[in-house]
Amino acid sequence: MWSSVRSAPLHVRRTYLQSKEFLYTTKYISQSASQEPTVASAGEVKNVTAVNENIKASPYLSASSVMKTETIPFDEIPGPVSLRLISKFWGMIPIMGTEITVSVVQYLLSGGKFFGGILSWGGNAPFFKKFFDVYGPVVRLHGAFGSDVVLLSRPEHASAIFQNEGPHPIRSCLESLEKYRLQCRKYRQAGPFLTYGTEWEKLRKSIEQPLQLCVEEQFTQIEKINQAFIERILVIRNKQEEMPNNFRMEINKWVLECLCSVTLNRSIGFLEPSGLIPSSDPGRLLDGLFGATNAIRKLEYGLHLWKFFETPAWKSLVKNCDMIESVLRKYLDRSKDQLQEKKIRNMSLDKVTLMEHLLLKENIIEDDVMTIMLDLFLIGANATAHSVAFFFYNLARNPRCQMKLFEEIKNDEGTTTPAALKEYKYLQACLKETLRLDPPIPILSRVLSNDTIINHYRIPKGTHVLFAAHLNNMREEYFEDAEKFKPQRWLSNDAGGFGNEFQNFASMPFGYGPRSCLAKEMAETAITSLIVNVCKKFRIEYNYGDIKSSNELMAAPTKPLKYRFIDRY
Ligand code: HEM
């Protein structure tokens, strides 16, 4: 049953999660069903009746925050009345789900006008901030179009949600990509980012460790790619040593070259000094990834009309995903041939590329390999490129920090292992601080697999929760001068905050728990090795207005990255 529900639209999954059948289908839920709900409170705890044994065991929750309280019903969570009124009408239309509620809200917050501007709070409001300012720390968006969404943004609430989600957490987002894969291309699964349950667990296990091994094996190659990136900077900078408006594209090329090296063990030429030919493999891959990302942003953040009609954004998603797949298929065919040859010649299959490793797995078919590769490229490339863009920005804007970093790494003689990079403590702190200020994935999402009590409200399992990580990261009580880039805060024991039990949830750029980023190590290694190489060679400057992160599901810088790279010697 679960396998068929897994790929169903969110409102179907939600109904299933609330059904009795689900309780008996998964071991975890059936255990947790007999337990008390998860509890977290940011306010005063009153009417204490018992202590929740389950939560007491958690390393992060204090006794005061785990006490069972008299709960307030879900219906009483505050939220916009206008949505509540609209829901009476639209709630009758079952085909429209939670994402539509979210997308309408996001559309409005990002400046769109709808319903006579009932909810239009003006353009570029940081997502959800207005809701928290008006309604408090727990906000319910009445299912204007079907089901409800709860918005959260506090570390103690993150702790309640993420620490108790069991072995198979459900993320709910990117329905457009899911539709493309499951309905349009009829793949049997939607890829590691979107799949659920045991199917997802199998996929994740097949990728996580081999990916890390490949990163270690390909580290020398990554260092070469870093040098090629530096060569590119020298070619494209103008007479004032400044980068062109599309420098972001160059960073993307660097990430993609790293990803090809790690997954395919080959260079496909993204960083050719003479630039990319659009019809070449790397040219088409780059175009496809940019096009698909833009289409996903439009589809997920606009009204979900694509569920009913083939909108231009939907057509663009299909065209771009097809283009990416046609390139990747070529490499998949080559990998199959290579494996065949290795088998014929009785060669060892111990050292294979990630793609070959996946092809060798019995429970993974070719279409699965395509979706895995696409997820790695789509999610990974965007997130990593965004982090590098803001890493450069923060160094340029904070010359003292840049100098301190240079002092730490200036004697580096070509780092030989990823482990050696971890020893550069200030470098690591700069990365953490960059990810705190501008997380590439600023909103984490879950469908609750447990009844959970937050701020005394009982939130039923199956509820769609959006956690505004970018607001969470800016809490003054956890990060003094939260708006400022202060890497040194990560070098003291309590990261400059209260050092209380929720500190670990105050910044979670890679998410949390079983569904956290599966390529954290790879991303950290690639980013820090690039920064070491670039900072040894150049001093970075930036002389224009502030660059912000768009804080969308897949965030992007809001201005061209016109950094100056000035030779140090
Ligand atoms: C600095 C770079 C990166 C950041 C900040 C980042 C962040 C994240 C976050 C926040 C999530 C969701 C976690 C959650 O819901 O709890 C995620 C998931 C994921 N990331 Fe990353 N990521 C980065 C780089 C990468 C790279 C390089 C790859 C691939 C090569 C990648 C592949 C994935 C995949 C496949 C998932 C889904 C995991 C699952 O559901 O099991 N990420 N990432």
Highest mean pLDDT out of 52-66, 382-396, 449-463: 382-396
Contacts for 422 with CB less than 8 Å, ≥ 6 apart: 428
Q: Whose CA is nearest to atom 31 of ligand 1?
A: 380
**173 CB near ligand 1 (under 6 Å):** no
| Mean pLDDT across 38-54 | 37
Are 521 and 384 in contact, with CB atoms under 8 Å apart? no
Q: What is the pLDDT at residue 273? A: 80
Q: What is the pLDDT at residue 143? A: 61
| Mean pLDDT across 90-95 | 38
**210 CB near ligand 1 (under 6 Å):** no
Q: Which helix (H) or strand (E) holds 453?
A: strand 452-454
Instruction: Give the C-alpha separation, 505 to 72, whole Å.
Output: 25
301 versus 555: the higher-pLDDT residue is: 555
Cα 379 to averaged position of ligand 1 atoms, centre (Å):
6
Q: What is the pLDDT at residue 118? A: 35
pLDDT band at 100 (very low <50, low <70, confident <90, very high): low
517 annotated to a ligand binding site = yes
Q: Look over the chain and give the mean of its residue pLDDT values, rounded to a whole number.
A: 81
Q: Which residue from 172, 369, 441, 517 has its CB within 8 A of the most atoms of ligand 1, so it is best to mutate?
A: 517
Q: What is the pLDDT at residue 363? A: 86
- Span 197-441+511-567: which CATH code? 1.10.630.10
Q: What is the pLDDT at residue 64? A: 36
pLDDT band at 164 (very low <50, low <70, confident <90, very high): confident
Closest ligand 1 atom to Cα of 522: 27
Using CA atoms, how far residue 430 sits from 257, 316, 435, in Å, is 24, 37, 9
Give the per-residue SS3 of 257-288.
Answer: HHHHHHHHCCCCCCCCCCCCCCCCHHHHHHHH
Instruction: Break the chain into its structural domains and give their ranges.
Output: 2-172, 197-441+511-567
**469 CB near ligand 1 (under 6 Å):** no
Instruction: Give the C-alpha separation, 174 to 12, whole Å.
Output: 16
pLDDT band at 121 (very low <50, low <70, confident <90, very high): very low
| Mean pLDDT across 128-140 | 87
| Mean pLDDT across 115-126 | 40
Q: What is the pLDDT at residue 115? A: 38
Instruction: Give the pTM.
Output: 0.85
Cα 568 to averaged position of ligand 1 atoms, centre (Å):
34
What residues pair up with 539 in beta bridges, in sequence order?
Answer: 566
Q: What is the pLDDT of residues 185-243, one digit of tens each?
A: 999 989 999 998 999 999 999 999 999 999 999 999 999 999 999 999 999 999 999 99
Cα 392 to averaged position of ligand 1 atoms, centre (Å):
21
Cα 508 to averaged position of ligand 1 atoms, centre (Å):
11
565 versus 77: the higher-pLDDT residue is: 565
pLDDT band at 258 (very low <50, low <70, confident <90, very high): very high
Q: What is the pLDDT at residue 6? A: 42
Are 115 and 178 in contact, with CB atoms under 8 Å apart? no
pLDDT band at 102 (very low <50, low <70, confident <90, very high): low
Q: Which of 445, 446, 452 is nearest to 32 (CA)?
A: 452
**387 CB near ligand 1 (under 6 Å):** yes
**145 CB near ligand 1 (under 6 Å):** no
Q: Which of these ranges, 118-127, 129-138, 464-473, 537-546, has the smallest mean pLDDT?
A: 118-127
| Mean pLDDT across 351-378 | 91
| Mean pLDDT across 84-105 | 46
494 versus 399: the higher-pLDDT residue is: 399
Q: Is residue 157's pLDDT more than 90?
A: yes
Q: Which of these ranges, 49-53, 247-251, 316-320, 421-425, has the smallest mean pLDDT?
A: 49-53
17 versus 437: the higher-pLDDT residue is: 437
Classify residue 70 by burial, with Cβ atoms within 10 Å: 0-12, 13-18, 19+.
exposed
What is the spatial order of strands in the sheet that 149-152 belongs to? Answer: 139-141, 149-152, 464-468, 443-447
Q: What is the pLDDT of residues 12-31, one digit of tens each?
A: 444 444 443 333 333 233 33
| Mean pLDDT across 441-469 | 90
Q: Return the structure tokens found at 403.
A: 């100098």
pLDDT band at 38 (very low <50, low <70, confident <90, very high): low
Q: What is the pLDDT at residue 192? A: 92
Q: Is residue 429's pLDDT more than 60?
A: yes
Q: Which residue from 510, 524, 527 has its CB within 8 A of the most atoms of ligand 1, so it is best to mutate?
A: 510
Q: Which of these ranges, 99-103, 147-151, 424-428, has the smallest mean pLDDT?
A: 99-103
Q: Which helix (H) or strand (E) holds 67?
A: strand 67-68
Closest ligand 1 atom to Cα of 372: 35
**230 CB near ligand 1 (under 6 Å):** no
Contacts for 75 with CB less than 8 Å, ≥ 6 apart: none
Q: Which of 283, 253, 251, 297 is nearest to 271 (CA)?
A: 253
DSSP string, 501-557: TTGGGS--TT--GGGS-TTHHHHHHHHHHHHHHHHHHEEEE--SSPP-B--SSS--B
Instruction: Give the C-alpha separation, 186 to 179, whole Å.
Output: 9
Q: Whose CA is nearest to atom 19 of ligand 1?
A: 517
Q: What is the pLDDT at residue 516? A: 96
Instruction: Give the C-alpha separation, 548 to 550, whole Å.
Output: 6
**255 CB near ligand 1 (under 6 Å):** no
Q: Is residue 59's pLDDT more than 90?
A: no
